[in-house]
A and B are shown apart, each in its own frame.
Chain A
């Protein structure tokens, strides 16, 4: 079966750096995406990796290793507003998004 695994919860302090990992097992791979979802809202797109390496967008970076079926989202200079759930998703051979269960990021002052 197809699956993505990511930690259910991560806790960090304001101003710190946190990494959220995602491992996947899917039929076909057309990129790894990351989404942020605040309680009560729809997911918002953060980043997309189709090739190996690091993609940087401001305080957020995303990494992909296709040989390891692994990626991570790196959040730097954490702010309280970053408290949210973060989902990784892989586009499979049918171009559908297969979602991870989400990682709840808790930020403490």
Chain B
């Protein structure tokens, strides 16, 4: 079946540094990828929608200069958390919509801890 892989699954970084999370569709092409954030015991919160080859569309309240999203190819989207702060610590999940069909597949998620 279709697989979406996120890397790294867990990352710890120091305050002020930047960290990049990759989201790859392994056996299908994804024209659209979604990035979510989940706080403990809360629902997923959509951060942004990225379409291959164009700028991401950010949800209200999400700082686009802080959460840089790049969707350079049909199989890869990256989320870079810039100048990370402890409050950025969270679970980040990507999902991808296949070019063919409308099924959305989720990545495994990435735990970010900023110390």
Report A's interface with B, CB cutoff 8 A: 30, 35, 41-45, 87, 91, 95-97, 99-102, 104
Closest residue of chain A to B49, judged by CB? A96
Within 8 A of A (CB), among B97-115: 97, 102, 104-109
Report B's interface with A, CB cutoff 8 A: 32, 34, 41-46, 49, 93, 95, 97, 102, 104-109
> For residue B42, which residues in chain A have a CB less than 8 angstroms away from its CB?
101-102
Return 8 A-B CB contacts under 8 Å, by A number.
A30-B102, A42-B93, A45-B105, A91-B102, A96-B46, A96-B49, A97-B46, A97-B104
Distance in angstroms between the alpha carbons of A42 and B95 in the assembled complex: 10
**B44, B97, B102, B108 interface centre (most CB from chain A within 10 Å):** B44
Q: Are A43 and B93 in contact (CB under 8 A)?
A: yes
Distance in angstroms between the alpha carbons of A102 and B95 in the assembled complex: 18
CB contact between A99 and one of B41, B43, B49, B97 (< 8 Å): that residue: B43
CB contact between A102 and one of B34, B43, B97, B102 (< 8 Å): that residue: B43
Distance in angstroms between the alpha carbons of A43 and B105 in the assembled complex: 10
Count of A-B contacts judged by CB separation below 8 Å: 38
> For residue A44, which residues in chain B have a CB less than 8 angstroms away from its CB?
106
Q: Are B106 and A95 in contact (CB under 8 A)?
A: no
Distance in angstroms between the alpha carbons of A1 and B92 in the assembled complex: 25
> For residue A104, which residues in chain B have a CB less than 8 angstroms away from its CB?
41
Closest residue of chain A to B32, judged by CB? A95
Q: Are B44 and A87 in contact (CB under 8 A)?
A: yes
Distance in angstroms between the alpha carbons of A99 and B46 in the assembled complex: 9
Closest residue of chain A to B97, judged by CB? A95
| Known contacts A95-B102, A97-B34, A87 near B43 by CB under 8 Å | yes
Distance in angstroms between the alpha carbons of A11 and B53 in the assembled complex: 46
6 closest A-B pairs (Cβ-Cβ)? Answer: A42-B109, A101-B43, A99-B43, A42-B108, A102-B43, A99-B44
> For residue A91, which residues in chain B have a CB less than 8 angstroms away from its CB?
102
Distance in angstroms between the alpha carbons of A101 and B18 in the assembled complex: 30
> For residue A96, which residues in chain B have a CB less than 8 angstroms away from its CB?
34, 46, 49
